[in-house]
Structure 1
Amino acid sequence: MTDSVTVFAVGQRWISSTEPELGLGLVVQAEGRVVQVCFPAADEERAYAARSAPLSRVQFRQGEMIHDNQERRLKVTDTLENNGVIIYLCEDEDGKDVLLPEEQLHAVIRLNSPRERLFAGQIDRLSRYRLRYNTRLHHGVQMQSPVRGLLGPRVQLLPHQIYIAHEVASRHAPRVLLADEVGLGKTIEAGMIVHQQLISGRASRVLVVVPEALLHQWLVEMLRRFNLRFTILDEARCMALEGEASGLQEDDVSADDINPFESAQLVLCGENFLAADTSRAEQARAAGWDILVVDEAHHLAWTPENSSPAYACVERLAEQVPGLLLLTATPEQLGRSGHFARLRLLDPDRYHDLQQFVDQEQQYQQISDVLMALRQDNAWQRLSSEQGLREVLDAYLGTDRVAAVVAEVDGADASAQTVALERLTRDLLDRHGTGRVLFRNTRASVKGFPGRELHAWPLSGSQALPADVALDDQLHPEQVLGLDDDPRLGWLVEFLKQHRQDKVLLICRSAETVCELEQQLRLAGCYSGLFHEGMSLLERDRAAAWFADDEDGVQILLCSEIGSEGRNFQFARHLILFDLPLDPDLLEQRIGRLDRIGQTGVIQIHVPYLEGTAQQRLLNWYADGLGAFESPFQIGQAVINRYGEALLQALQAADEQPLQSLISDAQSFVAQEQARQEQGRDRLLELNSCQPDKADEWVNMVREYERPGVLAPYMEQVFDAFGVEHESHSAEAVIARPGNHMHGQHFPALPEDGLTATFRRDVAMSREDMHFLTWEHPMVTGAMDMILSGDFGNTALCTVKLGGVAPGTLLVESLFVLGVQAPRALQLERYLPAEPVRLLRDNLGRDLSEQLPADQLHMIAERVPKQTAHALVKRAEKVLQSLLDTSEKQAAALQDELIDAAMNQMRAERDDGLQRLLALAEVNPNVRQQEIDQYQAETAQLEERLRAAALQLDAVRIAIAT
């Protein structure tokens, strides 16, 4: 086989280099920048960008054996070509001539078998054989890992994030709202879900829609944390693609026939870009996606009477895309109708009536109260004695169900009672209305956040302000004084000199102020970075990266208000508020840039202000009246609604009395509102958003399956085998670069200038300059695919010294794998044996598989020169053929047993899953019928594919006793 043909034509056969399990692909459409390939063996169809399609051309040579679509075995005698399509001249087993167009080749591709290679003299080095064997073992472990898809991301192993990612990503076409509070990592959760869906094969095309200001942040995050290379599409890029493509088309094809959204599998675009141009939005809809991700979804405005252009655009997209992830930190910021608006995007059939939704939500408080009672220390006694508690449980779970549980464990020990309570709790959670489609973790339920300290810096200088200065000028005195005469500038210069080793973030209202600050600081010898709306997205990204650089980065980043949303600067702990906003939600957003998961120190909040001005009064309002600096402040809108006008008047009053009265009243109001908010917390939703016992179990599984101490030496063997130069960088870190004698022109995910990578998560989290190599990194998975999808290391010959075995004895080690070609989304490997079937026989007919394990044989095997090995095989060909025949018969006898075991495992798991889905559907309408139908269809496909499984000879090693 060769990969020489690079032009696509209908009827050609190609194989996916990233998904070889799909079998032989057939080009069904090749127009412009897109090629459509059908994979009959896997019943799949893929659309690829023609220039970057991960496909290899399949072309058989004279003398090779092939199969047609009727499974006739044919020998190639010659080839012809017609319009890019190969026609094979063949002989069948009766010696008759057969003309076979390549489109009639069998969809299940048959590569050169180890047996054929062995007797053709194609004998590999022992190191390659061992590497193939080890790769089989490692691959089997990863394919059967219950946390597959969660190993690769460069993230902290935070239980609430792992729980959501595992819970959501395991579903078919998940449609959920991720609504964790600010700082809990919704972007990471979405990335982990997308990564798992891509790894598992459940998704291949993803569209992410975000506010324009966050485009490059998402681009960098997806690449740095998840190794996902997204393409940003904006109007300029779309026009360039259309112009470039139309120049390559025939005269009768116009730019209107070209869809830029089909140019990449993973696409990022701006919300306004899509919402403002209906033609681009329609192109996005027509491109076909598996998952749609929408960030800052609270920006999508909707009422029963009207919807914003952005909402309408996302709604039309959501109708076409199976999977949908909506991200918002404030799911109820726009009220109950706004919350309902996002839910109806997820499932318009389920959420079609706002009032009905409100009525149903009110019922869940009763379930929440019962759950809280079940989680108390004396829960079992209360369940046995309190009539009201039993009545609620009977109403929701059924009298018989509750009575059976009570009767089963009444009088049992505390452990049995705890297990029973957990079962009742789980049943109640399953009945929670939005618990399956909405995930919301709060700081109250997720621990580990830093403290906050306020440092108020009073400065003289208010006397320089005119007596009748307006409120806005009091709050922003630089507008009147100019920064030259603003005492805050001198304070800032001195502060930076005293904190030279610390990273400092400064936020103020306007871009003009930060630009002037930058100039003044430069004159004072303090260099700073700028981040404001007048800069391009790329310039802002560079500024943020410059600020984050510990060695060569700037000490301080000067941000206008645009830095208050979406950016993460938790590596800094000093925040300077050069002015204060009137909106407490905006103040919280500013502090939230540092107050995030990953912050290791207490956040130092610095507020320089001019004494005797509205600046001081506003500071007192936030500090004394609201307590907004002490901890996250979640009732900003309620405060504005109650005190907005009165606060403006108090800030401008001639004396302090109006403000003091407001502060006194606000203290009581805030305490009441926060108590009401705490009482009204949807604990039911929080319990469903992260079940700690399961979350901890999955976190521990991720740690268990990471195995960095195993991966590091394995990759060293891979680098050696493929000629990749490598050297140790530090403990469990490596530098790799293309070698002069590298096998092939490219090695997966290896840049031309090489890379430095670590195998340890803790190092990867602190060293962003290093790649994080895991079993799911593209370099590792790509290398494993290269080894297992071809004939790499599938033959070997060695000598061994064995006590009790006569010199000259021949031993044949045969490795068989239970293979079947199936769509990746089925994840069939979960049920197949994790290890290859290994048989070892000698020429006396003895089965030595158990007496001489593979590891022991690896250790005592000695290499044989290639020419000698070839001669030995030729001389013993008849004996070896007979031994292989015997091994294949022995393997065939095991096949049915292995398939039955796989089938039983699959049925047990799938039956449990189906029964749970059906039970949930009876009590929780958020379980879609489509999800159940898909689950049943997948089970039927799994059965069909498993029945077609067959043990295939994967590798052969000949050992000669000396």
Structure 2
Amino acid sequence: MSDFIQGQRWLADGEPELGLGMVQGTDARTVTLYFPAVDDERCYALRQPPLTRIRFERGEEFQRRDQRKAEVKAVHDLNGLHVYETLDGEMVPETELADTLDRNSPLTRLMTGQTDHPNWFNFRAALNAGHQAIWSAHLNGLLGTRSALLPHQLYVAKQATERTRVRALLSDEVGLGKTIEAGLIINRLLQQGRASRVLIAVPDALQAQWLVELVRRFSLHCEFYQSEDHDFGMGQVHLIPHRLLNDIEEMPWITAQEWDVLVVDEAHHLSLDDAEVLDDTESWVALARKTPHLLLLTATPEQLGQEAHFQRLQLLDASRFTRFEDYQADESHFIELSSVATALYNDDIDDALLDRLASLGIEWHNDSRRALADVLDRHGPGRVVYRNTRRGVSGFFPREVHTHPAESEAQRQQWLVDWLKANRTEKVLLITQTAEVAQELSHHLWHDHGLESTAFHEGLNLIERDRAAAHFAKDEDGAQVLVCSEIGGEGRNFQFSHHLVLWDLPHHPDVLEQRIGRLDRIGQDQTIHIHLPFLPDGPDAVRLRWYHDVLGCIETLQPAAGAIHERFADTWFANPDDSALTTEVRQSLDELNRELESGRDVMLELNSCRQPEADELAIQVAELEQNTAENVVEMAANLLNLHFETLDDGIFELIPSDNMMIPVIPGIPEGGAVITFDRQRALVREDVLFVSWEHPLIVGFMDILSGTQLGQASVALLETKQVPAGQVLLEVQWQIAIPPRLAHALKPYLNHNLLRTLTLEGGTADLSSALTEASLAPQIKTLPVKMVRKLIQSAKERIPPIYDVGLGHAKAQFDVAVADARREHEAASDAKIERTRYLASVNPLVNEQDVVKAEMQAEMQRQAWDDVELQPVGVRMILCAPPGTV
């Protein structure tokens, strides 16, 4: 034990709450310390006192009594006292240190006996390894979604987020998952730390749909706007109706907040001219311009005309889309290129095509894919607009309409009962306009006819809706029919059902398509049968003629149906038997469809899902998911005292206990939850949470480890004959710490951000390769707390030299890891700059300014590597003893 000198600062092992003690004096047997933080004085025996001397090393930060902080440049000894030379050139004796110690390094915790169960060490390593694997694969933010791994959705999300500022128009056709793409982009920005505040504006009728999608698919719990008392300052994600964006009273409250991401669904419903009624600084347009990341969603980007579409593009990037006339000229050029792109895509090569490629400056390498990529690079809007269509995405099945005329309401209901009884193995979705009709019909089917039916309507809360949907989804003992109000046409997808009963018809073809879209989606594997029971003299008979016979929008998706409906519906319904009018409507429908088809941007569609990159991306995510977080959750359950039990194959229950180490389970409802780590099971069972490496549960565990000292220090026993009894092994985990503001850019290039050293007392070698974590973990044993403290006391003088040996090895590993990562990052940055420079030479919407931005960004990131640091995050002292010792 070091000699005690008056004025020295020591920490009481096991009682860090006393703060930093100061030596007052000694006698023959004891030393007296005064603890100013608690105004208490303690005496300790000179022989093995439970005390640890505090010494700050070069580069560490300390706090003075006047609360000022300083960084250590050098440490000097003066008559037994430490004197710290700061970067400012001041000399600070240890007597001037603050009385409370804000230093909980792993080594300090070990030396002072603040240890945890050894398994915490393994837990920290496993959690960090799984987390880093996702970053290293450049796939962070793409794994946590409860949805099928569809290449076009993953590709859009990854491509959009490759740019520093994500400003994009998502315009996929109905049924292709624009909401999922937007959610993936939001999730990726949040996971990468590039955003923390998100504002989502949607049509009033779609608020429930978005709420469900955010919670169930992305585990994003949002602040749901319901009244003018809404607090826009709290929470991360806010979900509001469109009308607020043009509300003179509400917009000042919205614009007063800082937002990182603005998402506007059905963006074509919001006229950019409406903003003029507001003060310019408080309009939604002004908000969109100043928000770093902007997503506009619309399935009909040019529905209101090309000029309105240009205005939205200008909102996304005013520096690129400057004049409408220039945009029109560029679009004409892109449409000319569409034939070239189509021929290359279909591998339809002839001399004329080769001549056209040569005129574009594209070399032919006998490779259609390479040439196609070169052609697509010339498409400017493809860097801002994404549009996937059913032509380019496989997996859609035909629709068949079955009409069932009935003379009365009773006859309609009898048809339904008879059909359900004759087709008991079929799952049937029935949609009607009101909750009252849905409840009455479901009650009638079950109580009067014994048909397993469940109701789904806006009168139920989210949990009740989940239960209804889950009951319908179950193969055995589940409901045969789910009777929904209009809300059933929004937010839930039932691709496993192949029969849709439309009990009534909505007033707009877009709503009709929403209803059919619950079944007609990617994932559907059979023909969709649409049943229409109606009264021949009722209003639905006329609507059926309008939708089926005139617009033809029940059996097929009609992009022009909405616009034609708004133009002719009132006139036609007033004169449904006017054959001339019907002919005019059909001609207008055909003409508009031809216009849409002729204006169809094949280049844009191919650019929105480039192959084979998109398919390879989905394969990479699937392969990465093979290593699930199940082991980590099981370890956490054991360490935190949670109940984790297997319910079924791949299905688990995670519920809190009375003696948990933490107040709540992060990302899990208060009463617990049923979870799975398998994506396919999660897609079938909507009542089961899908826990990926990006689920809030796993992120919460990461926060627990980073925000507390759990697992930083532990002691274990290794029974072995190969090491002399009483020798100490010191295992240390070291983290490569990156500045948070650029972690998303640098972290993917590190193969490992957690390093490990294992050193033996008296030795100089690093044994971490010879004794891996996997091989060491089963061999070590825990020790009683009292024995741990005695071991620490007896080994206190021996630990620092072993630690210093490990630190030397860690620095060597750190230098190699950072050098490799830096080299890989610089190569990627150079490639990105060259790519941007090439695009500037062929793409009218990429210019020299983009090259300069790419170069500046690369240089800023290069300099950030200088600020990367090595930090210890966990230390485990392992006592070696002969077998049978414990």
With the shorter chain as reference, the TM-score category is 0.7 to 0.9
Is the Cα–Cα contact under 8 Å of residues 125 and 796 in structure 1 kept in the other structure?
yes
In 2, the alpha carbon distance for the partners of 1:119 and 1:519 equals 69
User: Would you say 1:599 and 2:524 are equivalent positions?
Assistant: yes
Distance in 1 (CA, whole Å) between partners of 2:794 and 2:488 is 76
Measure how far apart 1:786 and its partner are: 2.0
Q: Does 1:766 align with 2:684?
A: yes
Report the Cα offset of residue 283 of structure 1.
Answer: 1.8
1:905 aligns with 2:831: no
What displacement does 1:936 show? Answer: 4.6
Aligned partner of 2:811 in structure 1 is 892
Q: Tell me the residue number matched to 1:446.
A: 393
Identity %: 34
Residue 137 in 1 paired to residue 129 in 2?
Answer: yes
Name the SS of the counterpart of 1:282 in structure 2: helix
Which of 595, 613, 628 matches 1:694? 613
How far apart, CA to CA, are the structure 1 residues paired with 2:98 and 2:849? 40
Summarize the Cα distance change of 1:110–1:950 in structure 2 as closer, same or farther, 3 Å threshold: farther
User: Contact 2:403–2:531 at 8 Å: present in 1 too?
Assistant: yes
SS across alignment from 2:232? helix
Q: How far 1:177 sits from its partner (Å)?
A: 0.9
Deviation at 1:565, TM superposition (A): 6.7
Partner Cα separation in structure 1 for residue 829 and residue 427 of structure 2: 52
Looking at structure 1, the residues matched to 378 and 691 of structure 2 have their Cα atoms a distance apart, in angstroms, of 41
Q: How is 1:608-619 mapped onto 2 (pairs within 5 angstroms)?
A: 608-609=533-534
Give matches, 1:743-782, under 5 Å. Answer: 743-782=661-700
Moved more, 594-603 or 512-521: 512-521
Structure 1 residue 777 displacement after superposition: 1.0
Looking at structure 1, the residues matched to 797 and 397 of structure 2 have their Cα atoms a distance apart, in angstroms, of: 74
Equivalent residues of 2:553, 2:561 under 8 A apart: no
Using a 3 Å threshold, how does the CA distance of structure 1 residues 325 and 508 change in structure 2: closer, same or farther?
same
Which residue is 1:121 aligned to? 113
Q: Secondary structure at the match of 1:262?
A: coil
1:9-88 paired onto structure 2 within 5 Å: 73=62
User: Match for 2:650: what amino acid?
Assistant: E
Gaps of 5+ in 1: 1-58, 80-89, 239-259, 410-416, 462-482
> Structure 2: which amino acid aligns with 1:919?
Y
Q: Distance in 1 between matches of 2:532 and 2:775?
A: 69
Please name the residue that 2:372 is paired with: 425
For residue 300 of structure 2, the aligned residue among 314, 330, 350 is: 330
Distance 1:300 1:496 in 2: 43
Work out whether 1:636 is the aligned partner of 2:561: yes
Per the alignment, residue 880 of structure 2 pairs with 960
Q: Is residue 814 of structure 1 aligned with residue 732 of structure 2?
A: yes
Change (3 A) 1:128 1:547: closer
- Where 2:734 maps in the other structure, the secondary structure is strand
Residue 112 (structure 1) shift:
2.1
Asked if residue 871 in structure 1 is aligned to residue 790 in structure 2, the reply is yes
Alignment partner, residue 48 of structure 2: none
Secondary structure, counterpart of 1:118 in structure 2: helix
- In the alignment, which residue of structure 2 is the partner of 1:87? none
1:314 equivalent to 2:314? Answer no
Listed as ranges, the matches of 1:473-484 within 5 Å are none
Please list, as runs of the form range in 1=range in 2, the aligned pairs for 1:518-917 lying within 5 A after superposition: 546=468, 549-550=471-472, 555=481, 557=483, 559=485, 568=493, 570=495, 572-578=497-503, 587-609=512-534, 627-636=552-561, 651-652=576-577, 658=579, 678=597, 680-708=599-627, 710-802=628-720, 804-823=722-741, 826-834=744-752, 836-847=754-765, 848-917=767-836
Given the alignment, which residue of 269, 272, 278 partners 2:248?
278
SS at match of 1:279: coil
Name the amino acid aligned to 1:958.
I
3-state SS of 1:173 partner: coil
| Alignment deviations for residues 87-109 of structure 1 (CA, whole Å, 9 cap, x no partner) | xxx9964674887899xx9xxx9
Greater helix share, structure number = 1
Q: Is the counterpart of residue 949 in structure 1 residue 868 in structure 2?
A: yes
In structure 1, C-alpha distance between the alignment counterparts of 2:257 and 2:636, rounded to whole Å:
38
The answer to whether structure 1 residue 265 and structure 2 residue 236 are counterparts is yes
Partners of 2:202 and 2:265 within 8 A in 1: yes
C-alpha RMSD of matched pairs (Å): 4.4
Going from structure 1 to structure 2, the CA distance change for 1:306 and 1:894 (only over 3 Å counts) comes to closer
Contact kept in structure 2, 1:493 and 1:524, CA below 8 Å: no
1:804/1:72 Cα in 2 relative to 1: closer, same or farther (>3 Å)?
closer
Which residue among 198, 201, 210 is the counterpart of 1:209?
201
Is the Cα–Cα contact under 8 Å of residues 290 and 322 in structure 1 kept in the other structure?
yes
Decide whether the 8 Å contact of 2:724 with 2:880 is kept in 1. Answer: no
Give the number of equivalent residue pairs.
809
Matched with 2:332 is 362
Contact 2:716 2:783 in 1 (8 A): yes
Q: 1:178 to 1:508 in 2, by over 3 A?
A: same
Aligned to 1:414: none
Secondary structure of the residue aligned to 2:483 is strand
Q: 1:292 to 1:835 in 2, by over 3 A?
A: closer
How big is each residue's C-alpha offset from its partner over 1:462-513, in whole Å with a ceiling of 9 and x where there is no partner? xxxxxxxxxxxxxxxxxxxxx76x8545545555565667555555789998
Residues 367-406 of structure 1 correspond to what in structure 2 (within 5 A)? 367-377=337-347, 379=349, 382=350, 385-386=351-352, 389-390=353-354, 392-396=356-360, 398=361, 402=362, 405-406=363-364
Cα 1:432–1:541 shift into 2, 3 Å: farther
Deviation at residue 438 of structure 1 after TM alignment: 1.0
Residues 395, 523 of structure 2: 8 Å contact kept: no
Amino acid at match of 1:393: L
One-letter amino acid of the counterpart of residue 314, structure 1: W
Taking the aligned partners of 2:632 and 2:285, their CA distance within structure 1 comes to 47
Q: Does 1:189 align with 2:107?
A: no
Contact kept in structure 2, 1:817 and 1:837, CA below 8 Å: yes
Partner Cα separation in structure 1 for residue 587 and residue 426 of structure 2: 38
Task: Sort the Cα spacing of 1:633 and 1:68 in 2 relative to 1 into closer, same or farther, 3 A.
Answer: same
Cα distance between partner residues in 1 of 2:780 and 2:121? 11
**Aligned runs of 1:296-311 on 2, under 5 Å?**
296-301=266-271
**CA offset digits 1:426-475 (Å, max 9, x no partner):** 2221221311111111111111123212112244x5xxxxxxxxxxxxxx
Judged with a 3 Å threshold, the aligned counterparts in structure 2 of structure 1 residues 502 and 174 are, in CA distance, closer, same or farther, namely same
Q: 1:803 to 1:543 in 2, by over 3 A?
A: closer
Q: 1:119 to 1:667 in 2, by over 3 A?
A: closer
Q: What 5-or-longer segments of structure 2 have no aligned partner?
A: 1-35, 40-51, 69-80, 85-90
Displacement after TM superposition at 1:666 (Å): 8.8
How far the C-alpha of 1:771 sits from its partner, in A, is: 1.4
Are 1:164 and 1:439, in contact at CA under 8 Å, matched by a contact in 2?
yes
Partner of 2:381, secondary structure, is coil
Q: Which residue of 2 aligns with 1:467?
A: none
SS of aligned partner of 2:557: coil
Name the counterpart of 1:27: none
Look up the match of 1:151: 143
CA distance in 1 between counterparts of 2:667 and 2:38 reads 31
| SS of equivalent to 1:652 | coil
Given residue 223 of structure 1, which amino acid in structure 2 is its aligned partner? Answer: V
Distance 1:77 1:634 in 2: 70
Kept in 2: contact 1:124–1:793 (CA 8 A): yes
Change (3 A) 1:235 1:580: closer
SS of residue matched to 2:383? coil
Superposed displacement of residue 546, structure 1: 4.3
Deviations 1:393-417 (A, max 9, x none): 3454x3xxx3xx44xx4xxxxxxx3
**Counterparts of 1:71 and 1:795 in 2: how far apart (Å)?**
19
Aligned to 2:160: 168
CA distance in 2: counterparts of 1:95 and 1:314, whole angstroms: 55
CA contact under 8 A between 1:432 and 1:924: conserved in structure 2? yes
